[in-house]
Structure 1
């Protein structure tokens, strides 16, 4: 039997709840400030680190989930919520449906850290959660506008959505390209400062977000596209190895810290939300607070059902399309579809979105059922996390997964290619030193030792530790650095030519950074 492990977000929510109950002080969350401080860096980092090849390979599936499923969820759940709670106006029901429709990349990553989710399924979930927040928050914007004004224009909403999404994507790409080009120019003229490089990488997501919001586009999508672009912008403008290593450490710390703060804040808000449950439930026409739990479970069940139907229908259409082209596709196990449905957990974006509901209408009267919407959204976040934590291990246990392409052959091929490039570069450096300084035997011996290491790697033999122990020697160090530089150039060429995946390139780059840091140390 698979052991049950509690995901970190649930522990953090409980910790926040304990903090909230142990003090009378409350953190007043400003939704706009919350969005600006927490989401841009986290979404930027997810976009930066997500495997790009896998994302683009399943682009059609990701778009279907991020756009089509969100729209169907907003419409279907909006009518369901209004039917269950007639006291909640239809526009407010659509607003609540909009904030619970996007899955959350932060929560998805946290669940994946505890549950062995298949790689391709995880890539689809991450790609979906990076993009569906824009469609969900745009739907929220129009639902709130309809609640405030009593009018709604589908044509205007569609045009606005195109601008919000497209503008955000373009601005994020443009900001990253401009900043990285300027940074490369400054580095070329005055040298590279590690601290400044790290600071610039931290400012890019905030700059993208603010610029997009200034032009009324999606700041969140701008941060995502800025992160995705960083991978390609750095292929031709490589930073120093020590800069990349320190920058990775800084970003890892920021990711861990911000993730923790988000869920602790959610837990801290829960006592206040629960304290008003008795008054909140009165709006629904009931007196017992447990009705709120029933509504929350009904919404979670509705979300999972719609998601299951959408994923099932999408897979059937994909199989039919490939069958027409003569491509045989194995029908996936229903448990895989169920796991995909349950894994769509809600998190920080839902919390931030529901808190943006205005306090009053245009005439100054209180916004209808605002507290009820906040309570239900918070309940959906907690229940979806618990549901995924409990059911995913059982759904995925012993499940025969569709075959995934092996990465080992690709990685081995890349290692051979970069090692051959290193040998050629060392030979050229060896000849150049011999011609300019003489003493050809000395340079031939030093270069030969280093080239032997690469040849043994190509032949699959273990590296000789005796040569590694003498890397303090100046010549050996110089030849090793020439080899690493050539490896890096060959790796960039393979990535540009799409002969290797970004995940393989990241792994090999990390190894080269460690080697270079050791030889320079």
Structure 2
């Protein structure tokens, strides 16, 4: 019963956080962390034990799967060099540099534990970043790089953590063996995820007929199972479950289940995944907030009982490690920019690479999140001989503090850095216009072909009626083509006509909705009829408003 009560409280907190951000201009992740911290107040008596293994299995696969599914694949592959240099190069540099730095800062912390702390501090959190910066505030290309980095560096950071833990427990480390193991774990995880996604799609289409019209629920449930299956299968064979979930999501764009399913299945799946992302992301940050008072507060209280100097020393550890992380990330990104500028100069391009503001945004955007906390809490409590693992509690304290610092710095610095940034024209506007034009032309040809086929055996009266229907349907697409044409005056007239038509249709649909509500209230129609007609109006309004966003 306590578990059910706790889950309901967490869900209520997730919903309440969404309401708060509508009323106050605050980043959603920070609001959710604050709510979690308030729920951890002793008088409320809500305490959730953070099990890293359950957390990684339950929350991370669906979130990474959804991110992998959504991220633009073309831009991801175009920026693959930058993404890999951040997700692999920067992670391993962070493990080495920050690991030695922490060991020098806290000599009582063994070097393998310092490396483990650096490993869990290396992954970034794109969800927290988008929540802090706001949708569409970070330039598209830079956001794609940051999202791609966050997708990949979770795996590289956790693999580095695995080797650091092994070194801490055994006292043995081989760079050659670790490098070979990393390649096998990473490539195997990617292959496993892609294979699972393809297999689910193949089985669903070939044997379950989920692409045919009918109840869309089975197909949606199948997509919900894919990330968990990919993660668990990969982990079962000691491969990267995180990369398996990412690869499974990226593969979904190329599977028959996602591209050839019924319209109702795609709509239901999109709505379901939007809800899952909102709830799971909210749960993640609220769980973070629930842990911070117990980790940070307890450590500071214990230190205060010793001396005030000890409290200052602990806070200083967090500040110094955070500054070191920002300095290393800034230097790494600046060096990448410098090498890119040299390559661009050899091709005759001047000022082709963004400047200092881009480097600063990329640096501050390295927000740490739940994966960092789950990783550091997975450190074993004892050595094989039964003795306590030295430095574990301090590593957990520093990691928790750095997460909080990175979130606060992001909330303050990112809006300042992004203020007044000229983003220029939408880089995808031209291809969107081309796609709309070609789609409208294809629609006109299809209507024309169907008209010829349908009117072949009709009499004169029926043929005239069919011609009138054809003209009305074609007029919709011809007006779209006019609005997309190069001539300014006809295009402006067509857009004004479309805008007027949009307002009229929207007003008409809202009038329909009011009448249906009145008829239901007067018992003129029953709930079944009301729900059916209201669903039709809602779908029509959704289709109408989607074109004007």
Calculate the TM-score normalised by the size of structure 1: 0.85
**Contact 2:369–2:403 under 8 Å retained in 1:** yes
Map of 1:178 onto structure 2: 199
439, 445, 468: which one aligns with 1:445:
468
Give the Å deviation of 1:221: 0.7
Separation in structure 1 between the aligned mates of residue 331 and residue 290 of structure 2, nearest angstrom: 35
Gaps of 5+ in 1: 470-510
Give the Å deviation of 1:325: 2.3
> Does residue 1:135 correspond to 2:161, yes or no?
no
407, 411, 422: which one aligns with 2:432:
411
> Does residue 1:201 correspond to 2:223, yes or no?
yes
Give the Å deviation of 1:383: 0.5
Deviations 1:197-245 (A, max 9, x none): 1111111111111111111111111111111111222598422222222
Secondary structure, aligned partner of 2:398: helix
Give the Å deviation of 1:50: 1.2
**Contact 1:10–1:382 under 8 Å retained in 2:** no
Map of 2:28 onto structure 1: 8
Map of 1:91 onto structure 2: 112
Separation in structure 2 between the aligned mates of residue 411 and residue 235 of structure 1, nearest angstrom: 25
Map of 2:448 onto structure 1: 427
> Does residue 1:126 correspond to 2:137, yes or no?
no
> Does residue 1:304 correspond to 2:311, yes or no?
no
5-14 or 155-164, which deviates more: 5-14
Deviations 1:301-356 (A, max 9, x none): 11111110010100110111122222333453312211110111000110111111
**Contact 1:44–1:205 under 8 Å retained in 2:** yes
Separation in structure 1 between the aligned mates of residue 412 and residue 86 of structure 2, nearest angstrom: 23
Deviations 1:153-192 (A, max 9, x none): 1111001100111111111111111111222222279644
Give the Å deviation of 1:413: 1.2
Give the Å deviation of 1:517: 13
**Contact 1:242–1:517 under 8 Å retained in 2:** no
**Contact 2:123–2:371 under 8 Å retained in 1:** yes
Gaps of 5+ in 2: 1-23, 484-493, 506-538
Map of 2:378 onto structure 1: 356
Map of 1:503 onto structure 2: none
356, 381, 399: which one aligns with 2:403:
381
Map of 1:210 onto structure 2: 232
Separation in structure 1 between the aligned mates of residue 364 and residue 381 of structure 2, nearest angstrom: 33
**Contact 2:86–2:149 under 8 Å retained in 1:** yes
RMSD across aligned positions (CA)? 2.8
> Does residue 1:365 correspond to 2:384, yes or no?
no
Q: For residues 454 and 512 of structure 1, do their structure 2 counterparts lie closer, same or farther at Cα, with a shift above 3 Å needed?
A: farther
Map of 1:262 onto structure 2: 284
Separation in structure 1 between the aligned mates of residue 275 and residue 259 of structure 2, nearest angstrom: 24
Map of 1:43 onto structure 2: 64
Map of 1:72 onto structure 2: 93
Secondary structure, aligned partner of 1:82: helix
Map of 1:347 onto structure 2: 369
Number of residue pairs matched by the alignment: 472
Separation in structure 2 between the aligned mates of residue 512 and residue 154 of structure 1, nearest angstrom: 60
**Contact 1:106–1:348 under 8 Å retained in 2:** no
> Does residue 1:19 correspond to 2:39, yes or no?
yes
Deviations 1:231-267 (A, max 9, x none): 2225984222222222211111111111111111111
**Contact 1:242–1:513 under 8 Å retained in 2:** no
Map of 1:454 onto structure 2: 477
Give the Å deviation of 1:68: 0.3
Separation in structure 2 between the aligned mates of residue 67 and residue 248 of structure 1, nearest angstrom: 31
